[in-house]
A = this chain, B = another copy of it.
Amino acid sequence: MVDIADRAGVSQSLVSIVMRGVPGAGAETRERILAVAHELGYRPDIRAQMLRRNSSRLLGVTFHTQHDFHGDLIAALYRAVAPLDYQLALSAVTPDRDEGAAVDDLLSDRCEALILLGPGAQRAALHRLAGTLPVIAVARSVRLPAVDVVRSAEAHGVHRAVDHLVDLGHRRIAHIDGGRAPGAPERRRGYRDAMTRHGLADEIVVVTGGPTEDDGAAAARTLLQSAAPTGVIVFNDAGATGVLEVLRREGLRVPDDVSVVGYDDSRMARMSFIDLTTIAQDADRLAELAVARAIERATGAEPSGSREQIVVPALVVRSTTAPPTRTSPAAPRGRRHR
Protein backbone atom coordinates (compact mmCIF):
# COMPACT_ATOMS: atom_id res chain seq x y z
CA MET A 1 0.00 0.00 0.00
CA VAL A 2 2.88 2.29 0.78
CA ASP A 3 4.36 1.49 -2.60
CA ILE A 4 1.13 2.40 -4.30
CA ALA A 5 0.85 5.61 -2.30
CA ASP A 6 4.38 6.60 -3.26
CA ARG A 7 3.91 5.81 -6.91
CA ALA A 8 0.59 7.65 -7.04
CA GLY A 9 1.89 10.54 -5.00
CA VAL A 10 -0.76 10.26 -2.31
CA SER A 11 -0.95 9.12 1.27
CA GLN A 12 -1.40 5.56 2.34
CA SER A 13 -4.75 6.34 3.94
CA LEU A 14 -6.12 7.42 0.62
CA VAL A 15 -5.05 4.18 -0.93
CA SER A 16 -6.90 2.36 1.83
CA ILE A 17 -10.01 4.41 1.17
CA VAL A 18 -9.89 3.64 -2.52
CA MET A 19 -9.15 -0.04 -2.09
CA ARG A 20 -12.09 -0.45 0.20
CA GLY A 21 -14.32 1.42 -2.20
CA VAL A 22 -15.63 3.76 0.47
CA PRO A 23 -16.43 7.40 -0.33
CA GLY A 24 -13.76 9.95 0.44
CA ALA A 25 -11.59 10.20 -2.65
CA GLY A 26 -11.81 12.21 -5.84
CA ALA A 27 -12.78 10.33 -8.97
CA GLU A 28 -9.53 11.20 -10.70
CA THR A 29 -7.39 10.21 -7.73
CA ARG A 30 -9.34 7.01 -7.32
CA GLU A 31 -8.69 6.00 -10.86
CA ARG A 32 -5.00 6.75 -10.67
CA ILE A 33 -4.60 4.74 -7.49
CA LEU A 34 -6.51 1.80 -8.94
CA ALA A 35 -4.30 1.89 -12.00
CA VAL A 36 -1.10 1.85 -9.98
CA ALA A 37 -2.45 -0.91 -7.75
CA HIS A 38 -3.23 -3.06 -10.74
CA GLU A 39 0.14 -2.36 -12.25
CA LEU A 40 1.88 -3.44 -9.09
CA GLY A 41 -0.29 -6.54 -8.82
CA TYR A 42 -1.48 -5.38 -5.44
CA ARG A 43 -3.70 -7.68 -3.44
CA PRO A 44 -4.99 -6.73 -0.01
CA ASP A 45 -3.67 -8.79 2.88
CA ILE A 46 -6.81 -10.10 4.45
CA ARG A 47 -4.96 -11.06 7.61
CA ALA A 48 -3.92 -7.51 8.21
CA GLN A 49 -7.42 -6.34 7.42
CA MET A 50 -8.91 -8.75 9.88
CA LEU A 51 -6.37 -7.85 12.49
CA ARG A 52 -6.98 -4.18 12.28
CA ARG A 53 -10.77 -4.35 11.86
CA ASN A 54 -10.88 -6.81 14.69
CA SER A 55 -13.49 -8.73 12.77
CA SER A 56 -12.71 -11.52 10.38
CA ARG A 57 -15.92 -11.73 8.36
CA LEU A 58 -15.05 -15.39 8.21
CA LEU A 59 -17.44 -18.31 8.53
CA GLY A 60 -15.79 -21.57 9.48
CA VAL A 61 -17.12 -24.73 7.86
CA THR A 62 -16.29 -28.31 8.77
CA PHE A 63 -17.13 -31.04 6.27
CA HIS A 64 -16.49 -34.74 5.82
CA THR A 65 -14.36 -35.70 2.85
CA GLN A 66 -16.19 -38.96 2.37
CA HIS A 67 -19.69 -37.49 2.19
CA ASP A 68 -20.69 -36.59 -1.33
CA PHE A 69 -23.51 -34.46 -0.08
CA HIS A 70 -21.13 -32.26 1.84
CA GLY A 71 -19.58 -31.35 -1.49
CA ASP A 72 -22.96 -30.15 -2.67
CA LEU A 73 -23.42 -28.22 0.55
CA ILE A 74 -20.04 -26.53 0.18
CA ALA A 75 -20.91 -25.44 -3.33
CA ALA A 76 -24.18 -24.06 -2.00
CA LEU A 77 -22.46 -22.31 0.89
CA TYR A 78 -20.12 -20.49 -1.46
CA ARG A 79 -23.17 -19.45 -3.45
CA ALA A 80 -24.84 -18.21 -0.30
CA VAL A 81 -21.96 -16.09 1.02
CA ALA A 82 -20.96 -14.69 -2.37
CA PRO A 83 -23.18 -11.61 -2.19
CA LEU A 84 -22.61 -11.12 1.52
CA ASP A 85 -19.04 -9.95 1.89
CA TYR A 86 -18.22 -12.90 4.08
CA GLN A 87 -15.61 -15.53 3.41
CA LEU A 88 -15.62 -19.25 4.02
CA ALA A 89 -12.85 -21.06 5.84
CA LEU A 90 -12.97 -24.78 5.08
CA SER A 91 -11.69 -27.46 7.40
CA ALA A 92 -12.06 -31.12 6.61
CA VAL A 93 -12.74 -33.99 8.95
CA THR A 94 -11.14 -37.16 7.64
CA PRO A 95 -10.59 -40.66 8.96
CA ASP A 96 -7.56 -39.47 10.91
CA ARG A 97 -8.55 -35.92 11.66
CA ASP A 98 -11.52 -35.63 13.93
CA GLU A 99 -14.02 -32.85 14.22
CA GLY A 100 -12.19 -31.43 17.21
CA ALA A 101 -9.04 -30.89 15.19
CA ALA A 102 -11.01 -29.40 12.31
CA VAL A 103 -12.73 -27.00 14.68
CA ASP A 104 -9.48 -26.02 16.37
CA ASP A 105 -8.04 -24.82 13.09
CA LEU A 106 -11.14 -22.78 12.44
CA LEU A 107 -10.93 -21.27 15.88
CA SER A 108 -7.33 -20.22 15.28
CA ASP A 109 -8.53 -18.53 12.13
CA ARG A 110 -10.78 -16.42 14.34
CA CYS A 111 -13.94 -17.32 12.51
CA GLU A 112 -17.00 -15.43 13.66
CA ALA A 113 -19.26 -18.45 13.51
CA LEU A 114 -19.00 -22.17 12.83
CA ILE A 115 -21.09 -24.12 10.39
CA LEU A 116 -20.74 -27.82 11.12
CA LEU A 117 -21.87 -30.16 8.35
CA GLY A 118 -23.21 -33.34 9.82
CA PRO A 119 -21.55 -32.78 13.18
CA GLY A 120 -20.61 -35.89 15.07
CA ALA A 121 -19.10 -34.17 18.07
CA GLN A 122 -19.98 -35.05 21.61
CA ARG A 123 -22.79 -33.06 23.11
CA ALA A 124 -20.47 -31.77 25.81
CA ALA A 125 -17.84 -30.59 23.35
CA LEU A 126 -20.49 -28.94 21.24
CA HIS A 127 -21.99 -27.24 24.22
CA ARG A 128 -18.62 -25.85 25.28
CA LEU A 129 -17.92 -24.71 21.76
CA ALA A 130 -21.24 -22.95 21.47
CA GLY A 131 -20.29 -20.97 24.54
CA THR A 132 -17.34 -19.51 22.62
CA LEU A 133 -18.94 -18.59 19.31
CA PRO A 134 -22.13 -19.20 17.36
CA VAL A 135 -22.45 -22.78 16.15
CA ILE A 136 -24.79 -23.90 13.39
CA ALA A 137 -25.32 -27.62 12.85
CA VAL A 138 -26.38 -28.54 9.34
CA ALA A 139 -28.04 -31.75 8.21
CA ARG A 140 -27.97 -33.34 11.62
CA SER A 141 -30.19 -32.69 14.56
CA VAL A 142 -28.50 -31.54 17.75
CA ARG A 143 -30.72 -30.98 20.72
CA LEU A 144 -28.72 -28.35 22.52
CA PRO A 145 -30.19 -24.99 23.43
CA ALA A 146 -27.10 -23.03 22.37
CA VAL A 147 -26.72 -24.64 18.95
CA ASP A 148 -28.71 -23.60 15.89
CA VAL A 149 -29.82 -26.40 13.63
CA VAL A 150 -30.64 -26.32 9.94
CA ARG A 151 -31.85 -29.65 8.66
CA SER A 152 -34.22 -31.42 6.36
CA ALA A 153 -37.65 -32.59 7.40
CA GLU A 154 -36.81 -36.27 7.40
CA ALA A 155 -40.32 -37.48 8.03
CA HIS A 156 -41.69 -35.20 5.35
CA GLY A 157 -39.41 -36.73 2.75
CA VAL A 158 -40.73 -40.18 3.53
CA HIS A 159 -44.28 -38.85 3.38
CA ARG A 160 -43.57 -37.70 -0.15
CA ALA A 161 -42.24 -41.14 -1.02
CA VAL A 162 -45.31 -42.88 0.36
CA ASP A 163 -47.63 -40.40 -1.35
CA HIS A 164 -45.87 -41.02 -4.62
CA LEU A 165 -46.22 -44.79 -4.42
CA VAL A 166 -49.83 -44.55 -3.28
CA ASP A 167 -50.59 -42.19 -6.16
CA LEU A 168 -49.15 -44.76 -8.51
CA GLY A 169 -51.58 -47.31 -7.07
CA HIS A 170 -49.38 -49.18 -4.63
CA ARG A 171 -50.76 -50.44 -1.34
CA ARG A 172 -48.26 -53.06 -0.19
CA ILE A 173 -45.46 -50.64 0.61
CA ALA A 174 -42.64 -51.74 2.91
CA HIS A 175 -39.88 -49.76 4.58
CA ILE A 176 -36.29 -50.87 4.97
CA ASP A 177 -35.05 -48.63 7.72
CA GLY A 178 -31.65 -47.24 8.68
CA GLY A 179 -31.27 -49.24 11.88
CA ARG A 180 -29.38 -47.06 14.31
CA ALA A 181 -28.11 -44.57 11.74
CA PRO A 182 -28.79 -40.88 12.39
CA GLY A 183 -32.13 -39.87 10.97
CA ALA A 184 -33.44 -43.42 10.89
CA PRO A 185 -36.06 -43.01 13.64
CA GLU A 186 -37.51 -39.91 11.97
CA ARG A 187 -37.75 -41.57 8.60
CA ARG A 188 -39.29 -44.68 10.13
CA ARG A 189 -41.88 -42.61 11.89
CA GLY A 190 -42.55 -40.70 8.68
CA TYR A 191 -43.29 -43.98 6.95
CA ARG A 192 -45.65 -45.17 9.66
CA ASP A 193 -47.51 -41.88 9.80
CA ALA A 194 -47.93 -41.60 6.05
CA MET A 195 -49.13 -45.17 5.72
CA THR A 196 -51.64 -44.62 8.48
CA ARG A 197 -52.81 -41.39 6.89
CA HIS A 198 -53.51 -43.28 3.70
CA GLY A 199 -55.49 -45.90 5.57
CA LEU A 200 -52.77 -48.46 4.99
CA ALA A 201 -51.89 -49.07 8.62
CA ASP A 202 -52.45 -52.80 8.10
CA GLU A 203 -49.89 -52.88 5.34
CA ILE A 204 -47.08 -51.43 7.44
CA VAL A 205 -43.94 -53.54 7.21
CA VAL A 206 -40.64 -52.32 8.59
CA VAL A 207 -37.49 -54.35 8.08
CA THR A 208 -34.32 -53.45 9.91
CA GLY A 209 -31.65 -52.27 7.50
CA GLY A 210 -28.86 -49.76 7.84
CA PRO A 211 -26.93 -47.11 5.98
CA THR A 212 -24.86 -49.29 3.64
CA GLU A 213 -25.69 -51.23 0.48
CA ASP A 214 -25.00 -54.45 2.28
CA ASP A 215 -27.51 -53.51 4.94
CA GLY A 216 -30.04 -52.82 2.22
CA ALA A 217 -29.26 -56.07 0.43
CA ALA A 218 -29.59 -58.14 3.60
CA ALA A 219 -32.86 -56.46 4.50
CA ALA A 220 -34.19 -57.04 0.99
CA ARG A 221 -33.50 -60.76 1.30
CA THR A 222 -35.32 -60.85 4.60
CA LEU A 223 -38.20 -58.92 3.14
CA LEU A 224 -38.61 -61.27 0.18
CA GLN A 225 -38.82 -64.28 2.46
CA SER A 226 -41.96 -63.05 4.14
CA ALA A 227 -43.91 -60.14 2.76
CA ALA A 228 -44.16 -59.42 -0.95
CA PRO A 229 -44.51 -55.69 -1.31
CA THR A 230 -44.97 -53.94 -4.63
CA GLY A 231 -43.16 -50.90 -3.32
CA VAL A 232 -40.15 -50.47 -1.05
CA ILE A 233 -38.94 -47.26 0.55
CA VAL A 234 -35.36 -47.60 1.66
CA PHE A 235 -33.54 -45.55 4.31
CA ASN A 236 -31.03 -44.12 1.85
CA ASP A 237 -29.71 -44.47 -1.69
CA ALA A 238 -26.87 -46.78 -0.75
CA GLY A 239 -29.30 -49.15 0.89
CA ALA A 240 -31.65 -48.84 -2.07
CA THR A 241 -28.85 -49.82 -4.41
CA GLY A 242 -28.30 -52.97 -2.42
CA VAL A 243 -32.02 -53.66 -2.61
CA LEU A 244 -32.04 -53.19 -6.37
CA GLU A 245 -29.22 -55.65 -6.73
CA VAL A 246 -30.96 -58.33 -4.67
CA LEU A 247 -34.24 -57.84 -6.52
CA ARG A 248 -32.49 -58.27 -9.85
CA ARG A 249 -30.68 -61.35 -8.70
CA GLU A 250 -33.99 -62.80 -7.58
CA GLY A 251 -35.38 -62.22 -11.04
CA LEU A 252 -37.68 -59.40 -10.02
CA ARG A 253 -37.83 -56.47 -12.40
CA VAL A 254 -37.73 -52.87 -11.24
CA PRO A 255 -40.04 -51.05 -11.54
CA ASP A 256 -42.29 -53.64 -13.22
CA ASP A 257 -42.48 -56.03 -10.31
CA VAL A 258 -41.31 -53.82 -7.48
CA SER A 259 -40.92 -50.06 -7.18
CA VAL A 260 -38.01 -48.77 -5.11
CA VAL A 261 -37.50 -45.35 -3.57
CA GLY A 262 -34.23 -44.21 -2.02
CA TYR A 263 -33.33 -41.19 0.05
CA ASP A 264 -30.59 -38.55 -0.43
CA ASP A 265 -30.37 -38.13 -4.20
CA SER A 266 -26.74 -39.11 -4.01
CA ARG A 267 -24.45 -39.26 -7.01
CA MET A 268 -25.15 -42.95 -7.14
CA ALA A 269 -28.88 -42.40 -7.53
CA ARG A 270 -28.24 -40.26 -10.57
CA MET A 271 -26.12 -42.80 -12.39
CA SER A 272 -27.98 -43.70 -15.54
CA PHE A 273 -28.17 -47.43 -14.93
CA ILE A 274 -29.43 -46.98 -11.40
CA ASP A 275 -31.59 -43.93 -12.03
CA LEU A 276 -33.22 -44.19 -8.66
CA THR A 277 -36.36 -42.41 -7.58
CA THR A 278 -35.34 -40.71 -4.37
CA ILE A 279 -35.77 -37.84 -1.94
CA ALA A 280 -33.46 -34.87 -2.46
CA GLN A 281 -32.37 -32.52 0.26
CA ASP A 282 -32.35 -28.89 -0.77
CA ALA A 283 -28.68 -28.05 -0.41
CA ASP A 284 -29.14 -24.46 -1.55
CA ARG A 285 -31.84 -23.76 0.96
CA LEU A 286 -29.93 -25.46 3.79
CA ALA A 287 -26.86 -23.40 2.96
CA GLU A 288 -28.77 -20.14 2.72
CA LEU A 289 -30.40 -20.63 6.08
CA ALA A 290 -27.16 -21.73 7.72
CA VAL A 291 -25.25 -18.72 6.45
CA ALA A 292 -28.02 -16.29 7.33
CA ARG A 293 -28.29 -17.68 10.83
CA ALA A 294 -24.53 -17.76 11.33
CA ILE A 295 -24.24 -14.10 10.40
CA GLU A 296 -27.21 -13.12 12.54
CA ARG A 297 -25.68 -14.78 15.55
CA ALA A 298 -22.22 -13.43 14.80
CA THR A 299 -23.45 -9.87 14.56
CA GLY A 300 -25.52 -10.25 17.67
CA ALA A 301 -28.77 -9.67 15.81
CA GLU A 302 -31.60 -11.50 17.49
CA PRO A 303 -32.53 -14.16 14.93
CA SER A 304 -36.00 -14.23 13.55
CA GLY A 305 -37.16 -17.84 13.70
CA SER A 306 -36.59 -20.67 16.10
CA ARG A 307 -33.32 -22.39 16.93
CA GLU A 308 -34.19 -25.19 14.59
CA GLN A 309 -34.92 -24.48 10.95
CA ILE A 310 -36.34 -27.23 8.84
CA VAL A 311 -36.18 -27.49 5.09
CA VAL A 312 -38.62 -29.54 3.09
CA PRO A 313 -36.97 -32.13 0.84
CA ALA A 314 -38.31 -32.95 -2.60
CA LEU A 315 -39.23 -36.12 -4.41
CA VAL A 316 -37.16 -36.84 -7.51
CA VAL A 317 -38.94 -39.29 -9.73
CA ARG A 318 -36.69 -41.46 -11.86
CA SER A 319 -37.11 -44.88 -13.33
CA THR A 320 -37.34 -47.20 -10.32
CA THR A 321 -40.99 -46.42 -9.61
CA ALA A 322 -44.06 -47.17 -11.71
CA PRO A 323 -47.64 -48.31 -11.15
CA PRO A 324 -47.88 -51.88 -9.90
CA THR A 325 -48.63 -54.29 -12.69
CA ARG A 326 -51.57 -56.64 -12.40
CA THR A 327 -49.20 -59.52 -12.70
CA SER A 328 -46.95 -58.44 -9.90
CA PRO A 329 -45.75 -61.64 -8.33
CA ALA A 330 -46.84 -62.52 -4.86
CA ALA A 331 -43.47 -64.06 -4.25
CA PRO A 332 -40.09 -64.05 -5.91
CA ARG A 333 -39.87 -66.17 -9.00
CA GLY A 334 -36.65 -67.76 -7.97
CA ARG A 335 -33.14 -67.05 -9.03
CA ARG A 336 -32.13 -66.82 -12.62
CA HIS A 337 -28.40 -66.79 -12.25
CA ARG A 338 -26.11 -69.19 -10.52
Chain A positions near chain B (C-beta within 8 angstroms): 41, 43-48, 50-51, 56, 65-66, 68, 71-72, 74-75, 78-79, 87, 89-92, 94-97, 105, 107-110, 132, 213-214, 217, 238, 241-242, 245, 253, 267-268, 271-273, 336-337
Contacts and interface: CB of A to CB of B under 8 A. Distances in A.
Given A71-B92, A75-B92, 6 more contacts: A45-B108, A47-B51, A47-B109, A78-B96, A214-B272, A245-B273
A253 B56 CA distance: 59
Q: Which 6 A-B pairs have the closest CB atoms?
A: A65-B71, A75-B94, A90-B90, A47-B47, A245-B273, A46-B108
Contact of A271 (B87, B213, B336): B213
16 contacts: A43-B108, A45-B108, A47-B47, A47-B48, A47-B109, A65-B74, A66-B267, A68-B68, A74-B94, A75-B96, A78-B94, A79-B97, A213-B272, A217-B273, A242-B272, A242-B273
Contacts of A50: 47
Number of copies: 2
Nearest to A102: B78
A44 B268 contact: no
B92 A105 contact: no
Contacts of A43: 107-108
Nearest to A107: B43
Contacts of A87: 105
Contact of A272 (B47, B107, B217): B217
Contacts of A56: 47
Scoring A45, A108, A268, A273 by chain B CB atoms within 10 A of each residue's CB, the highest score goes to: A273
Scoring A45, A50, A78, A87 by chain B CB atoms within 10 A of each residue's CB, the highest score goes to: A78
B95 A75 contact: yes
Scoring A43, A90, A97, A109 by chain B CB atoms within 10 A of each residue's CB, the highest score goes to: A90
A47 B238 CA distance: 42
Nearest to A214: B272
Nearest to A76: B94
Contacts of A78: 92, 94, 96-97
Nearest to A245: B273
Scoring A65, A66, A95 by chain B CB atoms within 10 A of each residue's CB, the highest score goes to: A65
Nearest to A44: B108
Contacts of A92: 71, 74-75, 78, 90
A310 to B, nearest CB: 24
A146 to B, nearest CB: 16
